[in-house]
Structure 1
Amino acid sequence: MSSTYNVIVNGGGLGGLSVANALQQLGIQVSVYERATELKEMGAGIVLAANAIKALDKLGLGEKVRSLGSSVKKAEIRTWDGKLLVDLPVHKQAEQYGTYSYLIHRADLQNILYENLNSGTVFLGRKLVNKEQDTSKVRAIYEKKEVVEGDLLIGADGVHSKIRSLLIDSTPLRYSGFTAFRGIANFEDDRFPLEQGGGFEAWGHGRRFGYSHLGKGRIFWFAAINTPLATLKNSENKKMTALEYFKGWWGPIEAVIESTEETNIITHEIFDRKPINSWSQGRTVLLGDAAHPMLPNLGQGGAQALEDALVLSRSLIKYPEDIEQALREYERIRIPRTTKVIRGSRAMARIMQLENPISIQVRNLLLRTMPTSLQMKRLEWLVGYEV
């Protein structure tokens, strides 16, 4: 495929910037159109398991991520009051997969992806209103009647994707049953030294708290709270709300919430969609959260977008004369895997967010007694995967 081949990417988040990097690496011409007037990721951390790090290595960006992020060299699951349930075998996993997992600020990752692109690739302040296509071209139509023509349009515009709504019948968002609080603080605790990296999750009744090093002396924390839709999202005082839910919990939990600036706490209602069996139509295709929004319980949203980016770019090179064949190849490889991740994330959410005391006792007993070898085998298909 010649470098004159022209791809339009709608969306400048992690998925859009990843696919732009993958395409440019293969000599394919690409432009990214983002509706925001500045590239600004929400103030939260993102975990990159071995499969994501390997994908970044293939883009030539793995080392930058390792230097700006924090390696996960400690990962515990505890009860709400601190009893150890699982000490995850992170060192054995790193040995098996060739890399540790890393936690990095989403804005830092976005910046790494953006700065690696050719100058002038990304256009900001472009809100898509429609698209048109025929057998030879696709046109993305933006506000103020701006029309951009290309050979392929990639919808990487997130969970509320405009391109998805233009492409396929609406598959409604499914509320997970929990709302997340996320915060970043400058904070230290001797039980989780900075040089070790990583952290813990504490699981209670219908609520869960995670604490992890983010690099540069910062802690990223999250809280997942079972609650009906639209009850917590617009909390007036997010810090106070989080403190109420986690009063008396183990270790550094209350202290790290307390030390977080109100402006550094965000809330999200967590949604996914039911998996679908086609992401494309003609010269338009979906990628990342636009194609397969998933719950964060396996920590794979960003990783799956990175895998999509590499597979899609390779498929276009494999079938340089036949876009529809290239898109079928991309779907053939990616849909079964992302469907499995969506379902796995749902199943994991049910386990993590349990409320019934007897079910919790059974779960905790199973976790305490699970052999290390089984812990590793359980996730091998996911984090041991190399795209």
Structure 2
Amino acid sequence: MSAPIVIAGAGIGGLSAALALARAGKRVIILERAAKIEEVGAGLQIAPNAGRILAGLGLESALAAVALEPQAINIRRGRDGSVLARLDLSDSGSRWGAPFRVFHRADLQQALLQAALAHEAIEIRTSARVGDFTERSGRLSLRAHGEGGVEEIDASGLVGADGQRSAVRAHLFPTERDAPYYSGLTAWRALVPAELAPAALRARESNLWMLPGAHVVHYPLRDGSIINVVVIVAEEPRAADGAAILALEGPELARLLAPKGPGADLLSLVQAGASWRHWPLFARPPLSKWSRGAVTLLGDAAHPMLPFLAQGAAQAIEDAAALGTAFLRLGVGVEAAFADYERSRIARASRIVRASRRQGDYFHISGPASVARDFAIRALGGRGMLARNAWLYR
């Protein structure tokens, strides 16, 4: 039996990669640091480019059971809620091969986890992490640290899908210049019971409100019973390393947001959040290579991106598909497959990282420039805005 490919991390990217590799005939071991596989956070948007891949992995029925399909995206002027453009999503499936969907993160991860657990070629170990690893004569030897001590694993390859602060990336690129750094932006996240939200904001639609130096995104989840709300603000770090996780009650966050002039409905929605969690947004320097020999990176470990195009999870899923395709196309050579995977993905992922940052800057424009931006969005309209982003979804 051939040596397995080890994946560090059982997040959305790691589980998707395991399913794609198993589909390509590879044996996979996932090492997950946490004792229990459960997603933190709240809402997650999956655009058609990732939805098509998940359907191809046999997950369509499982995902349809837990997803909500918003019928539109409303781009709003933050100070009064005026809709500048309404992007109709009702024909996404026929246009791009999959609908736009929103999920509670835990629901999506559980669907992926159950599919992985059911696959005979995939083994998942919790309370386990990748330690040191070495390559000799085309073989990869790595140490897995778990509750029972340290185990030596002979692997054919290693995929670092262990997030923005990836330990695998740190082994590949051990330099201070590659460390994560605070972007200057923070996300405040909450789940609001739908009955507490303003009636005008309970529709099965996604909404983006643009304010000077801030923006807010919200959409319903779990059959409309809750509303996922994310408030992004430019602010100084709240601890020396910028990584403190704090919490605010709704009225406190509303007071923080009020100087930016939010409309009454938006302010009411923010006030309705019982507890807002503080998530500083970090970035890392772009990489010109993701792989070295039989070791490669995937998802946030390779290309962490700010969330302003809602493509972070989608790009990890695209990575997973490209990884599986490389093995189907090239056969059993791990180094060649990893190199092919990197070549097929690095330009697109890097482009989306840059575009996501620019999108955030665009949302946060203030003064006369914001008037010009709003006019341009009105002139382009919903169909024009969707067409502008079609390169993401095709």
Counterpart of 2:286, as a letter, is: P
Report the equivalent of 1:230.
Answer: 238
Cα deviations across residues 201-242 of structure 1 (Å, max 9, x unaligned)?
111111111110112311111000111223684445353432
CA–CA separation in structure 1 for the residues paired with 2:42 and 2:32: 20
Per the TM alignment, residue 309 of structure 1 is displaced from its structure 2 partner at its CA by 0.6
Aligned amino acid, residue 138 of structure 1: L
1:336-364 Cα distance to aligned partner (Å, 9 max, x none): 1101101110111110122x312211211
* Match among 129, 135, 144 for residue 142 of structure 1: 144
**Count of paired positions:** 377
Residues 19-98 of structure 1: pairs in structure 2 closer than 5 A: 19-80=17-78, 81-98=80-97
The CA deviation at 1:282 is 1.2
Matches within 5 A, 1:244-255: 244-247=255-258, 249-250=262-263, 252-255=265-268
Cα displacement (A) at 1:49: 0.6
Structure 1, gaps ≥5 residues long:
none
Using the TM superposition, give the Cα deviation of residue 116 of structure 1 relative to its aligned residue in structure 2, in angstroms: 0.6
Question: 1:45–1:105: 8 Å Cα contact kept in structure 2?
Answer: yes
Residues 1:191 and 2:200 are matched in the alignment: yes
**Aligned letter for 2:368?**
I
**Does residue 389 of structure 2 align to residue 379 of structure 1?**
yes
Paired position in structure 1 for 2:159: 154
Structure 2 residues not aligned, in runs of 5+: none
Query: Cα–Cα, structure 1 residues 39 and 202, in superposed 2: closer, same or farther, change >3 Å?
Result: same
The separation in 2 between residues aligned to 1:318 and 1:341, in whole angstroms, is: 25
Q: Which residue of structure 2 lines up, in the alignment, with residue 220 of structure 1?
A: 228
Tell me what 1:273 maps to. 284
Name the structure 1 match of 2:128: 126
8 Å CA contact 2:158–2:296 kept in 1: the answer is yes
Q: Aligned-pair distance for 1:255? A: 3.4
Deviation at 1:128, TM superposition (A): 2.6
Q: Which moved more, 1:245-254 or 1:300-309?
A: 245-254
SS of residue in 2 equivalent to 1:337: helix
Q: Which amino acid aligns with 2:294?
A: R
Pair 1:200-2:207 in alignment: yes
Q: Quote how far apart the aligned CAs of 1:4 are.
A: 3.8
Q: CA deviation at 1:274?
A: 3.0
Does 2:378 correspond to 1:368?
A: yes
Residue 336 (structure 2) pairs with residue 325 (structure 1): yes
Helix, strand or coil at the partner of 2:237: coil
Q: CA deviation at 1:136?
A: 2.7
Amino acid at match of 2:187: A
1:243-295 deviation digits (Å, cap 9, x = unpaired): 21334733543333333332xx3221112223222111111110110011011
How far, CA to CA, are the matches of 2:165 and 2:290 in structure 1?
A: 15
The letter for the 2-side match of 1:162 is A
Query: RMSD in angstroms over aligned alpha carbons?
Result: 2.1
Give, in angstroms, the shift of residue 134 of structure 1. Answer: 1.8
Match of 1:91, SS state, is coil
Q: Name the amino acid aligned to 1:51.
A: N
- The question of whether the paired residues in 2 share the 8 Å contact of 1:70 and 1:198 is answered with no
2:307 aligned with 1:296 = yes
Is 1:242 matched up with 2:261?
Answer: no
Q: Do the aligned partners of residues 277 and 238 (structure 1) sit closer, same or farther apart at CA in structure 2, a change above 3 Å counting?
A: farther
Counterpart contact for 1:140–1:148, Cα < 8 Å:
yes
8 Å contact kept, 2:248–2:277:
no
Alignment partner for residue 168 of structure 2, among 163, 168, 176? Answer: 163
1:128·1:140 contact (CA, 8 Å) conserved in 2? yes
Q: Which amino acid aligns with 2:138?
A: S
Q: Secondary structure at the match of 1:70?
A: coil
Deviations 1:154-212 (A, max 9, x none): 10000000000101244232432210011112214432455xx2231111111111110
Equivalent residues in 2 for 1:172-183 (5 A)?
172-183=179-190
Q: Structure 2: which amino acid aligns with 1:175?
A: Y
Q: TM-score, normalised by structure 1?
A: 0.91
Letter in 2 for 1:124: T
Shift of 1:375: 1.7
Q: What does the per-residue CA deviation read over 1:86-105, in whole Å, with 9 as the maximum and x for residues that have no partner?
A: 11132354442133211101
